[in-house]
């Protein structure tokens, strides 16, 4: 799908409906080593080369509605302040005082005029500058200009906030460039957060994330909750550079999956109104873009065998007329999610117990394999021990 037009996508869906054999010319997908889901060394390599050097979606711009508004990003063993300054800019700093490393903020969200350390009251401006030190004359080596908060690279793409723990590397614009075309016509800029919460999971983060970027399980795991609203056999996948992917499935009608009474933004294009579209933003952000409202789901590692699912339910500007939709949406979303979550502990046990050296992925699961390829590319393919490595076979299948 080189052009994301409704007609082109529907033609690709018709091809999928008619297909009865493995696509001619499409590479076979070798097995993925199960040790990638529990090996401590591989998890450490991911932390060093993936999580610390890749753009990570951490919030929605409307969460920082006023100057001084902030939220804390507290995953990956870190605490980062993401805030809006007095000029309206959004930026990020490590949540660490430059005096003796105390956390500056403890509340997960709020609004402040300055950052004041609760330990010795060192004060920092919203720009991160050190502006006040009690009894500063006692610090012979203190130059305030050298002791501002440690910055974290931060940028905004169409209303979505990203951070990158590395001070160097590709820009966010370059990282998200492959997504621009496929996501034209969906107004991310206008999203507001309706709910925000976390779920701890007893499984590797990749094991959980894989579940959401394939539709092969829709009729078996969600026969009553989700399958009646979709036509799973129409599933098409566009692999995008940098490990991203777009997945599209036909709906059985043109309404929201959750309710026909959804408050749908006028500027949403027909591609998103008439078809179910999933955006998989590498490495860990999943969004099924329902036109009435949906969830950003971020999958964070919490060790090699545990993870945290962060959920932001998002929609459009609130109005009394859409409250009924959101009541239905929350209930339906949680029911569908519960059907997935109950599978993960058993899957984690399965990959660890030694019965399988590899898991096998089919054509409909190619977004999973593409993600695993990108992980190795980020680590450096030659840096991945051969028993843990995945074969690089999909680069010729990227939609550009």
Residues 160-188 have pLDDT tens digits of 999 999 999 999 999 999 999 999 999 99
Query: Is residue 380 domain-resident?
Result: yes
Angle, alpha carbons 282-204-34 (nearest 5°): 95
pLDDT, residue 1, reads 37
Residue 376: closest CA among 368, 384, 365, 364 = 384
Residues 64-91 have pLDDT tens digits of 999 999 999 999 999 999 999 999 999 9
Residue 298: closest CA among 202, 211, 163, 198 = 198
Q: Would you say 119 and 102 are in contact if contact means Cβ atoms under 8 Å apart?
A: yes
Residues 210-229 have pLDDT tens digits of 999 999 999 899 999 888 88
Residues 115, 134, single domain; the answer is yes
Crossing angle (nearest 10°) for helices 205-212 and 344-352: 130
- Find where tokens 């829709």 sit: 218
Query: Is residue 343 domain-resident?
Result: yes
Residues 72, 48, single domain; the answer is no
Q: Would you say 242 and 227 are in contact if contact means Cβ atoms under 8 Å apart?
A: no
Residues 298, 393, single domain; the answer is yes
pLDDT, residue 181, reads 93
Give the sign of the dihedral formed by CA 290, CA 294, CA 299, CA 305: negative
Query: CA-CA distances (angstroms) from residue 28 to 85, 317, 356, 392?
Result: 50, 45, 19, 11
Rg (C-alpha) for the chain, rounded Å, is 22
Strands of the sheet with 130-132, listed across from one edge: 115-116, 123-124, 130-132
Residues 35, 77, single domain; the answer is no
Going by their DSSP bridges, the two strands 123-124 and 115-116 should be labelled as antiparallel
Query: Both tokens of residue 365?
Result: 């699961």
pLDDT, residue 280, reads 98
Query: Is residue 275 domain-resident?
Result: yes
Q: Name the domain count of the chain.
A: 2
Query: Is residue 85 domain-resident?
Result: yes
Confidence of residue 9 (pLDDT cuts 50, 70, 90): very high
Instruction: Tell me the residue range of the domain where 95 lies.
Output: 56-157
Q: Is the pLDDT of residue 362 over 60?
A: yes
Omega within 30 of 0 (cis) for the link into 48? no
Q: Is the pLDDT of residue 308 over 60?
A: yes
pLDDT, residue 292, reads 82
Residue 201: closest CA among 41, 344, 78 = 344
Domain end among 157, 190, 211:
157
> What whole-number distance in Å separates Cα of residue 95 and Cα of residue 85?
16
């Amino acid at each position: 799908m080189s052009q994301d037009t409704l007609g082109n996508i529907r033609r690709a869906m018709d091809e999928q409906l008619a297909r009865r054999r493995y696509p001619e010319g499409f590479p076979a997908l070798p097995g993925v080593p199960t040790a990638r889901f529990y090996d401590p060394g591989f998890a450490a390599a991911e932390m060093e080369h993936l999580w610390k050097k890749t753009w990570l979606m951490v919030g929605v711009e409307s969460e920082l509605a006023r100057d001084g508004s902030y939220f804390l990003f507290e995953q990956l063993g870190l605490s980062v302040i993401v805030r809006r300054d007095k000029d309206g800019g959004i930026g990020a700093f490590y949540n660490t005082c430059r005096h003796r490393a105390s956390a500056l903020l403890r509340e997960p969200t709020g609004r402040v005029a300055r950052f004041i350390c609760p330990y010795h009251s060192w004060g920092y401006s919203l720009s991160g500058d050190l502006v006040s030190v009690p009894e500063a004359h006692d610090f012979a080596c203190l130059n305030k200009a050298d002791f501002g908060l440690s910055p974290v690279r931060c940028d905004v793409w169409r209303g979505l906030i990203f951070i990158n723990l590395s001070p160097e590397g590709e820009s966010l614009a370059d990282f998200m460039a492959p997504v621009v075309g496929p996501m034209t016509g969906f107004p991310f800029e206008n999203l507001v957060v309706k709910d925000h919460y976390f779920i701890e999971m007893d499984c590797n983060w990749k094991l959980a994330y894989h579940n959401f970027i394939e539709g092969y399980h829709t009729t078996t795991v969600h026969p009553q909750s989700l399958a009646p609203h979709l036509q799973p056999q129409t599933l098409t996948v566009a692999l995008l550079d940098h490990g991203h992917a777009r997945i599209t499935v036909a709906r059985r009608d043109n309404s929201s999956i959750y309710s026909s009474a959804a408050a749908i933004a006028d500027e949403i294009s027909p591609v998103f109104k008439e078809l179910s579209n999933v955006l998989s933003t590498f490495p860990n952000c999943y969004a099924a873009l329902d036109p009435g409202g949906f969830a950003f789901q971020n999958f964070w590692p919490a060790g090699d065998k545990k993870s945290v699912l962060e959920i932001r339910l998002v929609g459009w500007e609130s109005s009394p007329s859409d409250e009924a939709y959101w009541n239905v949406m929350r209930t339906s979303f949680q029911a569908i999610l519960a059907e997935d979550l109950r599978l993960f502990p058993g899957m984690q046990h399965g990959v660890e117990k030694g019965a399988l050296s590899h898991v096998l992925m089919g054509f409909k699961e190619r977004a999973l394999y593409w993600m695993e390829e990108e992980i190795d590319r980020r680590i450096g393919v030659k840096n991945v021990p051969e028993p843990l490595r995945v074969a690089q076979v999909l680069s010729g299948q990227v939609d550009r």
